[in-house]
Amino acid sequence: MRLEGKVAIVTGAGGGIGQEITNQLAQDGATVFAWDISEKIHSQADEMNQNLDAKRVIPVQIDISDIAQMRSKVEQIVEEKGKIDILVNNAGIMQTIPFLEIDEQSWDRMLDTNLKSVFFLTQAVVKPMMDRKQGRIINISSIAGRSGRPVAAHYAASKSAVLSLTKSAALAFGEHGIRVNAICPGVIMTPMMEQINRDRARIFGKENEENVAVNEFLAKVPIKEIGYPSDVAQQVVFLCLPESSYVHGQAINVCGGYEMN
């Protein structure tokens, strides 16, 4: 119960990494507002709460590309709970499309979801954090944001921009007691990774092969192990604890050594 009494928002909480982050924060005592675009967030929250000694996961069905709705939800949480201690900007989409086939609609949707929402939700949440002189903001980026992707250039660009935004926020709000960091997951087994497998198999004509993307990426992982949502969630919890108070403006790779910068 290291986070007992803390109030958190986790976006993209309905599956994969976001669901596990929500679960681990709640297990450590935080009250977590679990944001997701899908209505399944309600049943998932009920399931998580069944394993807790209190109702600490509060489902919120929301489209984070709707900035006005997002701001309204933040105001409601502050009015109800009096504060927001933790923001995890996790929600994101991924498309595997060759560079020359990315159209304007795909570009705009990617940047609206993966970057624009991060900026404006941070802007909304940081104001009540500044009033209390404390807060933790963790942005989930990707190792793709460090090295680029020829068949997902818009995704890599959005995640690279999240790293830059993390640094800007860290410079802007560090003196106000707010710690801002990013996490860059690598090969993590999630529904998104399963979709990447299918898409890359189709693009490269390897439909008869299993785990095309996983095997390709795993060949570049020195420890030769795949990651799981819990690996990322554990780092998020650490960044919310007092023990991490001197970690600020950093991008932490959780990738088994795929990237080392």
209 token code pair: 């092969």
Q: Is 33:87 a contact under the CB 8 Å cutoff?
A: no
Radius of gyration of the chain (CA): 18
Cα–Cα distance between 57 and 214 in angstroms, integer? 32
Helix, strand or coil for residue 146? helix
Cα–Cα distance between 7 and 82 in angstroms, integer? 9
CB-neighbour burial class of residue 249 (10 A; exposed 0-12, middle 13-18, buried 19+): middle
37 token code pair: 């675009």
Cα–Cα distance between 166 and 203 in angstroms, integer? 33
Listed in sequence order, the residues at least 6 apart from 43 whose beta carbon sits closer than 8 Å to its beta carbon are: none
Cα–Cα distance between 182 and 184 in angstroms, integer? 7
DSSP state at residue 130: H
Kindly report the CA angle at 17 between 101 and 190, in degrees rounded to 5?
A: 60
Positions marked active-site: 155
Cα–Cα distance between 115 and 112 in angstroms, integer? 6
